[in-house]
């Protein structure tokens, strides 16, 4: 299988690409964020292009390691006929970046275009609030070879876009999925609007094409639609060629010159892309790649890690954040930002652990109470009675008590049932309220049970 993607995502701007209408189309009443320009009325002259949109698109191209050839950016008219586009053409730029790469998948090119309106046949309306919102279209080479690979790529791409803060998320994504099997012609599946949808569409399309090949039927080059509700694709039209779009230069839009200093400026302020951040974490903090991937899975989490390691051993902090913090977050179904856990509290918890003021077990219990909690770890420890590591003689007393109270477990242990040891350790933990050091407890239990 060979799969290439064309991914459209809205750019993050306050106003539209060629007019000053706002871009908050989701909360607005139908057809209220509109003017003659974004209604694509014949003769309406576009305003000068939104500079924020260009800068965001250039930044995304740079974060995807694209070459930039920004001396002049032209806009073309791409013609097609559909109720969401009264002018009959979409304003679309020539590539602003090309020959990029994201984790081994080649990016063929990136360009900008305007979003059309939303045709809602079921309600008999076209809502133009979305019309004219700037989009970036990212076109890959056919470098993906399974639905899983395409899914991984899309997840990673959405992550880069989120990091860039220059584009909106998966919610505004529309992907065209090109797929062909060895020797067959290419089918293009239009308007897939989620990562899961792309995965399901590919799964379906592979089976459909395989069945046709088996029956000796030729696979036509065609455009297909993805029906989200049924997770299947259906024929739409036989594929148009680029010629059918009759691309011409838009005479209303003068070419835009982007100065080299402008590009350098963007390079300076742009955020580090996650795939580059992973490499740096491995090198700078001496952690393995898998851990670095987990820590950079969320920008906020990565930022907090970098604050924490200013005062905490980087490997120790990485281990705790990867294992315990992530466990607590996924148990509570929260991402890091939603958990409202503060960096200073993580630093306090980790230094309590490093200074052996609390046991590992106590640390695990404290961190479970940290999401959405205004109290600091030391206050939580106080409240749960987890402060201080119990001294050796206290453990000895607790072990004696556990042995006295559980003669059957002791008997079992003497009969060779090793599992009884775990039970007795558990009892000691209960008596000391989790404050006994587990390995010390095992040692003391061993020596007292022998007597």
Q: List residues binding Mn ion (CB under 5 A).
A: 137
Token digits for 262?
């402008």
- Kindly state the DSSP code that residue 73 receives in the 8-state scheme: B
Compute the least distance from the CB of residue 337 to Mn ion, in Å. 32
Compute the least distance from the CB of residue 173 to Zn ion, in Å. 23
Compute the least distance from the CB of residue 155 to Mn ion, in Å. 21
- Kindly state the DSSP code that residue 156 receives in the 8-state scheme: H
Distance CA 236, CA 224 (A): 5
The dihedral built from the CA positions of residue 24, 29, 33 and 34, taken in this order, carries a sign that is: positive
Compute the least distance from the CB of residue 37 to Zn ion, in Å. 5
* Residue where the block lists tokens 């979409």: 90
Q: Residue 308 binds which one of Mn ion, Zn ion, none, with CB within 5 to 8 A depending on kind? A: none
Residues 362, 408: contact at Cβ < 8 Å? no
- Which of 133/358 has CB closer to Zn ion? 133
Compute the least distance from the CB of residue 313 to Zn ion, in Å. 55
- Which of 48/216 has CB closer to Zn ion? 48
Residues forming beta bridges with residue 4, ordered by sequence position: 178
Q: Are strands 97-102 and 67-68 parallel, antiparallel or unpaired?
A: antiparallel
Residues 58, 68: contact at Cβ < 8 Å? yes
- Which of 50/164 has CB closer to Zn ion? 50
- Which of 50/291 has CB closer to Zn ion? 50
Token digits for 9?
């995502």
Distance CA 103, CA 137 (A): 18
- Which of 137/437 has CB closer to Mn ion? 137
- Which of 127/137 has CB closer to Mn ion? 137
Compute the least distance from the CB of residue 112 to Zn ion, in Å. 17
Q: Residue 188 binds which one of Mn ion, Zn ion, none, with CB within 5 to 8 A depending on kind? A: none
Q: Residue 137 binds which one of Mn ion, Zn ion, none, with CB within 5 to 8 A depending on kind? A: Mn ion
Token digits for 87?
């002018």
* Residue where the block lists tokens 């505004």: 172
The per-residue DSSP string of 241-268 comes to PGGGG--EE-TTS--B---HHHHHHHHH
Compute the least distance from the CB of residue 111 to Mn ion, in Å. 8
Compute the least distance from the CB of residue 338 to Mn ion, in Å. 34
Q: Residue 205 binds which one of Mn ion, Zn ion, none, with CB within 5 to 8 A depending on kind? A: none
Q: Residue 58 binds which one of Zn ion, Mn ion, none, with CB within 5 to 8 A depending on kind? A: none
Compute the least distance from the CB of residue 43 to Zn ion, in Å. 15
- Which of 33/92 has CB closer to Zn ion? 33
Distance CA 23, CA 168 (A): 11
Give whole-number Cα distances, 448 to 399, 404, 430, 442, 445, in Å: 8, 12, 18, 10, 5
Helix residue ranges, H only, 355-418? 360-368, 377-384, 392-405, 407-414
Residues forming beta bridges with residue 76, ordered by sequence position: 92, 249
Between CA 194 and CA 204, with CA 198 as vertex, the angle to 5 degrees is 140
- Which of 246/430 has CB closer to Mn ion? 246
- Which of 21/341 has CB closer to Zn ion? 21
Compute the least distance from the CB of residue 10 to Zn ion, in Å. 15
- Which of 19/317 has CB closer to Zn ion? 19
Residue of this chain nearest to Mn ion (CB atom) = 137
Q: Residue 38 binds which one of Zn ion, Mn ion, none, with CB within 5 to 8 A depending on kind? A: Zn ion
Element (H, E) at 329: helix 326-331
The per-residue DSSP string of 9-30 comes to EEB--SB-SSS--BS-TTTSPT
Q: Residue 139 binds which one of Mn ion, Zn ion, none, with CB within 5 to 8 A depending on kind? A: none
Q: Residue 21 binds which one of Zn ion, Mn ion, none, with CB within 5 to 8 A depending on kind? A: Zn ion
Distance CA 364, CA 314 (A): 19
Element (H, E) at 224: strand 222-227
Q: Residue 19 binds which one of Zn ion, Mn ion, none, with CB within 5 to 8 A depending on kind? A: Zn ion
| Binding positions for Zn ion, rule: CB under 5 A | 19, 21, 35, 37-38
Q: Residue 35 binds which one of Zn ion, Mn ion, none, with CB within 5 to 8 A depending on kind? A: Zn ion
């Amino acid at each position: 299988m060979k799969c290439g993607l064309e991914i459209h995502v809205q750019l993050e701007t306050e106003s539209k690409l060629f007019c000053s209408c706002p871009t908050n189309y989701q909360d607005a009443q139908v057809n209220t964020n509109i003017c003659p320009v974004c209604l694509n009325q014949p003769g309406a002259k576009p305003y000068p292009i939104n500079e924020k949109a260009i800068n965001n698109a250039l930044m995304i191209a740079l974060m995807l390691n694209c070459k930039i050839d920004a001396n002049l950016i032209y806009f073309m008219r791409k013609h097609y006929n559909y109720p969401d586009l009264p002018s009959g053409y979409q304003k679309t730029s020539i590539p602003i970046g090309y020959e990029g790469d994201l984790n081994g998948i080649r990016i063929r090119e990136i360009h900008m275009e305007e979003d059309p309106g939303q045709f809602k046949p079921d309600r008999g309306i076209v809502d133009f609030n979305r019309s004219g919102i700037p989009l970036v279209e990212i076109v890959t080479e056919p470098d993906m070879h399974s639905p899983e690979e395409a899914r991984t790529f899309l997840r990673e791409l959405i992550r880069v876009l989120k990091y860039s803060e220059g584009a909106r998320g998966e919610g505004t994504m529309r992907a065209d999925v090109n797929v062909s099997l060895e020797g067959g012609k290419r089918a293009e599946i239009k308007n897939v609007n989620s990562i899961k949808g792309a995965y399901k569409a590919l799964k379906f399309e592979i089976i459909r094409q395989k069945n046709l090949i088996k029956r000796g039927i030729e696979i036509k080059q065609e455009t297909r639609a993805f029906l989200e509700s049924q997770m299947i694709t259906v024929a739409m039209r036989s594929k148009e060629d680029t010629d059918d779009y009759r691309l011409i230069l838009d005479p209303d839009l003068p070419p835009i010159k982007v100065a080299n200093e402008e590009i350098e400026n963007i390079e300076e302020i742009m955020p580090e892309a996650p795939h580059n951040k992973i490499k740096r974490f491995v090198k700078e903090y001496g952690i393995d790649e898998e851990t670095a991937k987990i820590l950079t899975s969320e920008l906020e989490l990565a930022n907090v890690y970098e604050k924490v390691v200013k005062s905490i051993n980087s490997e120790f902090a990485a281990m705790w954040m990867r294992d315990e913090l992530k466990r607590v977050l996924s148990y509570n179904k929260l991402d890091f930002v939603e958990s409202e856990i503060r960096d200073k509290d993580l630093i306090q918890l980790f230094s309590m652990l490093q200074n052996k003021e609390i046991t590992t077990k106590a640390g695990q219990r404290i961190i479970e109470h940290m999401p959405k909690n205004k109290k600091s770890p030391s206050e939580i420890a106080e409240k749960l009675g987890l402060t201080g590591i119990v001294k050796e003689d206290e453990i000895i007393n607790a072990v004696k008590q556990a042995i006295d109270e559980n003669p059957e477990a002791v008997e079992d242990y003497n009969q060779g049932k090793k599992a009884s040891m775990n039970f007795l350790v558990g009892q000691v933990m209960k008596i000391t309220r989790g404050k006994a050091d587990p390995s010390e407890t095992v040692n003391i239990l061993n020596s007292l049970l022998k007597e």
